[in-house]
Structure 1
């Protein structure tokens, strides 16, 4: 039974995040290279803006903001699941190579399987999922021992190794590609939000609409998988079946997210940690908070990145990495 005080605290934090996210969205809508002042937002929403204002709001900023929010939620939930099933606080789809696997699959698909743009958008999450799943399976195999099961630290180290190897494969692909296609892959690698139109929202939304409720339904199994294997087996959990099912879910969430945003790491690491620090480690409590924190963090990173430097700004992936990399090092030293 969850203590009523914790439930009350969770609801308060959820309410706070549900206020922070719209505030950040409004700031994002009113700032950027193309001028759209805050006092013109409501009139433009109501159809009273100029052609330029409506174009900037409905064709550029709003779809991008929705995509960033959804992708941040997906990456945060993916990280929370990976940390639960591996019992490793350092697990993140970007750090352990799952995002890199998705990236290589997208690069190969983009370079060697030319199809119509309309179909390309909706196939991207599927292609990313296949690449990410193959990578996850290999990482799982190399970090698994028959007697001990999955070894948490070894999983992270193997994942980092795969991430570096896949980055090398990406460089080989880039070296043999056309200049225009290289630009796309380079933007993807930097985490430069490239899916900024409404069809990309339709491409990612079904994955989140199915997998977020499924994960919340499996929250208690995640709690049990976080215990030692003998205890989990003792209470009747089919460990391998649940672990594989949840691994599929984490991979699908990460793949769908990065397929439209590019290679973004550390959201899946930071969001669950922040949520756990606020309400504890029980999955029913912290997962809803982690989902909103992940969306908000990526939204903040993208808003900051768009308003720094030149016309193109700074990729959201780089802004997140500037915060996330030191945090990862802190957790690594703390764990040792």
Structure 2
């Protein structure tokens, strides 16, 4: 009898352990995921999407993650495609972030982020301002002097209109007493295009995440003159805008969304896949390599944050007079 009780206890323990293991795993294994990156290859969204792709596939939960790039209009072209084609698709993901929030507000886009399903905020990244190595501009002081003397003579190259880069330029103008309407901002759909324009001297100053310019900075072909963080970034000896007398600070966050109209189980499955991916060594290595801050915020908490960000961004864009009439 004692032996039977002992065997029963062992069976119950084994069963409970197995049940616990099953409960902790995704309820539905996904064979594949289609990830839409609403920007051209080479930029921050593309880098984020491909890093997440690698982390998901390394985790083994999903055998194949296919990426499709669809750039333009601060991500709203890709967003519209996603909203119209992926409804109810539990295997579809969309990369996006603060640039898209700004683009929607600036352009009064007919599609917006209320039409998709927030899965998780992933990363945060501050901008760096760079000039060609041959530029006479050596510091933010030089840049501001030229900007104030002749606003139109300073061309700013960055991401899509209404995005983080554009908002930063508008905030710099406001902080230095320059008329926002006189900003000469040139948007690019991808990081590769922006870098080529800066290197070719077609724009005065460029803005983007540090990693997009890191190679050219290290090669001494581009000169970093400021970062948009509150304090200097670890391992990057570049002064902030604030310490150079321009009271501007802003970060660019990136996130992942699911399709409209998915059910609760599909959402849980995708959240579980992303959660496992961001805890992987592959993802942590990508954060370190790219200089991204870990800003992971899943599910409902991200939805609350997103609603707040949308309201704040609309306030900034409307306050600076950037929105289309």
TM range (shorter): under 0.3
User: Which structure has the highest helix share of the two?
Assistant: 1
- The structure whose residues are more often strand, as a share, is 2
Q: Using structure 2 for the length normalisation, give the TM-score.
A: 0.27
